[in-house]
Structure 1
Amino acid sequence: MAFIQCNLFSEALEMSCAVNVLLPQRTAAQVGMQGRSGDGRHPTLWLLHGRTDDHTIWMRRTSIERYASELGLAVVMPNVHLSWYQDTLGGPRYFEYISEELPRLCRDFFPLSDRREDNFIAGLSMGGYGAWLHALRNPQNFAAAASLSGALDLADLVTTRKTEQPNAYAALAPYFPAPDAIAGTGADLFALARQVCESKADLPALYACCGTEDFLYEGNQRFLRHADEIGLPVTYEEGPGEHNWAFWDQWIQRVLAWLPLEKPIN
């Protein structure tokens, strides 16, 4: 597996942005690793971080490089700070950056496939929300999207933080100044899910997992009930676990096994 650290200048953000990239590499010489790579441009997982982390976190807290090397899968891990993957009014356009600019830039620099069936998006916590946000708003871009302990019920989370945890809400306020106005907007996964179901769009496969002791567990359950009501197919799994890396390192392996990847050619 080849590991590249880079800074890309983003016009959407008007700044340089750090990105970590893992590229498949055919090799039998790396001790304890099985490198696999197909011919041509690589299938890609766009892997998103949570609210308190950055582009380095998945490689520091999990064995994502080892897991992906066996699949011939490229992994792109961008940094979006505390943005919740949203465009800001008069400021950085993080949604545009992730959905349009970053894929274009990465495909210019690296041999990444632009085929929908080769592109997948996943993330944890804030990144789980971000993964589904992008999958539901741009279903044509991804074959599959996975949320690990995702903040799927954003309106409830923001309202709770504002009323019960004002210090924690301070980090959300620049992006969601009116929590009671989230429902029904482009930031609301409940509304987006209903819209894509009504539009009869070709939906990406959706996967969610959450630990039963996670503080976001009830929000995940509310979204699953909503998905069932509107006929949105979701593969859901749960198990013992809290909002921590012991859970995510285990369950990212299940996500990778679930992805509809074509078998790489050695």
Structure 2
Amino acid sequence: MAFIQCDFFSDVLKMSSSMNVIIPENKKNRIGIKTKAEQGKYPVLYLLHGLSDDHTAWMRRTSIERYADKYGLAVIMPNVHRSFYTDMESGNDYFTFVSQELPEIAEKLFPLRTGRNNTFVAGLSMGGYGAFKLALNNPESFEAAASLSGALNLAENAAMADQKEDLYQELKWIFGDLNKVEKTKNDLFYLLKKLKKNKTNIPALYQCCGKDDFLYQDNLKFKHFCRRNKIKLKYEEEAAAHQWDYWDQKILDVIRWLPF
């Protein structure tokens, strides 16, 4: 495997940014080469960090490099700070950056297979929200998305945020009027309803959460919503909290689940 620490300039963010990248070095892709044009290129997983982390967290806290090597998978880990993968009300356009500019840059710099059936996204906590948000806003671009302990009920929780909490002001900087997050591209439940109504091909969805996680009830709500609306979802839960030991285990489960 090659591990690359990549610094580059983002036209969308109007500043320098960073991503960590894992690229398989084996001469032949272990999951098979379909065409000469794709020889030496790899399917790609965009792997997203949580609220208090950055693009280095997955490499420092898990064995993602070893897992990716086993399955011949390229992994792109971008830095989006505390943006909730959103075009911020008072800040940078991180959703546009990660959904449009980042893939274009990554595909120019690294040997990645292109197209929906070779492109996946996953993340933990804030990144779990970001993964589903990316896939549901761009179902034509992602074959599958996975949320590990994701902040999936963000729209409802933002509207109910306590004005005395520090997070309230931070969410206002990100989303603006917190009572208007629902029924927008930042609301996962609304996005699913819209895709279902329009009979759009919804990406494969994987969701997991620990039973001792503070986000467990929000994850249950998302699961029950999918069940009621007959939206296909692979759901798993274990006795775990909001912790890296759990995510290290589950990201391997995610990679095994991905529809290569």
Matched, 1:10 2:35: no
Q: Which residue of 2 aligns with 1:114?
A: 114
* Percent identity between the two aligned chains: 48
CA 1:142–1:255: 2 relative to 1, 3 Å: same
Residue 155 of structure 1: CA displacement?
2.2
Q: Which residues of 2 match residues 33-182 of structure 1 at below 5 A?
A: 36=30, 39-89=39-89, 91-163=91-163, 166-182=165-181
Secondary structure, counterpart of 2:52 in structure 1: coil
| Matches of 1:255 and 1:88, distance apart in 2 | 29
| Deviation readout 1:43-64 (Å, 9 max, x if unpaired) | 0000000000000000000000
Secondary structure, aligned partner of 2:145: strand
Q: Which residue pairs with 2:227 in the alignment?
A: 228
Distance 2:45 2:23 in 1: 11
The answer as to whether partners of 1:144 and 1:205 remain within 8 angstroms in 2 is: yes
1:251 aligned partner: 250
Shift of 1:160: 4.9
Q: Could you say if the C-alpha distance between residues 157 and 90 of structure 1 is closer, same or farther in structure 2, counting changes exceeding 3 Å?
A: closer
Asked if the contact 2:126/2:151 (under 8 Å) is kept, the reply is: yes
Contact 1:24 1:36 (8 Å CA) reproduced? no
State the shift of 1:106 in Å. Answer: 0.8
Separation in 2, partners of 1:51, 1:238: 21
Cα distance per residue 1:83-108 (max 9 Å; x no partner): 10001246421111111110001111
Which range moved further: 135-144 or 91-100?
91-100
- Give, in whole Å, the separation in 2 of the partners of 1:257 and 1:19: 24
C-alpha distance in 2 between matches for 1:172 and 1:89: 9
The C-alpha deviation readout for 1:98-147, integer Å capped at 9, x for no partner, is 11110001111111111211100000000000000010010010110000
Which sections of structure 1, spanning at least 5 residues, go unmatched?
28-34, 262-266
Alpha-carbon offset, residue 169 of structure 1? 2.6
Partner SS, residue 42 of structure 1: coil
Q: Using the TM superposition, give the Cα deviation of residue 229 of structure 1 relative to its aligned residue in structure 2, in angstroms.
A: 2.0
Structure 2 counterpart SS, 1:13: coil
Contact 1:151 1:157 in 2 (8 A): no
Q: Secondary structure at the match of 1:185?
A: coil
Structure 2 Cα separation of the partners of residues 66 and 15 of structure 1: 32
| Cα distance between partner residues in 2 of 1:162 and 1:253 | 36
Q: Which amino acid counterpart does residue 92 of structure 1 have in structure 2? A: N
Are the equivalent residues in 1 in contact too, given 2:116–2:141 (CA < 8 A)? yes
Give the counterpart letter for 1:19 in structure 2: M
In the alignment, which residue of structure 1 is the partner of 2:36?
none
Q: Secondary structure at the match of 1:139?
A: coil
Contact 1:214–1:242 at 8 Å: present in 2 too? yes
1:21-68 deviation per Cα after TM superposition (whole angstroms, max 9, x unaligned): 0001118xxxxxxx9585332100000000000000000000000111
Q: What's the TM-score once normalised by structure 2's chain length?
A: 0.93
Structure 2 unmatched ranges of 5 or more: 34-38
In structure 2, C-alpha distance between the alignment counterparts of 1:170 and 1:60, rounded to whole Å: 30
Q: Is the 8 A contact 2:90 2:173 kept in 1?
A: no
Give the letter aligned to residue 201 of structure 1: T
Q: Deviations over 1:217-264 (max 9, x none)?
A: 100111111112222111100001001101101111111110012xxx
Q: Secondary structure at the match of 1:9?
A: strand
Contact 1:25–1:36 under 8 Å retained in 2: no
Counterpart Cα distance in 1 of 2:7 and 2:182: 35
Q: Distance between the aligned counterparts of 1:103 and 1:161, measured in 2?
A: 33
Match of 2:207 in 1: 208
Moved more, 72-81 or 36-45: 36-45
TM superposition outliers: structure 1 runs of 4+ over 6 Å: none
For the aligned residue pairs, the C-alpha RMSD in angstroms reads 1.7
Contact kept? 2:91, 2:173, Cα under 8 Å? no
Which secondary structure does the structure 2 equivalent of 1:232 belong to? coil
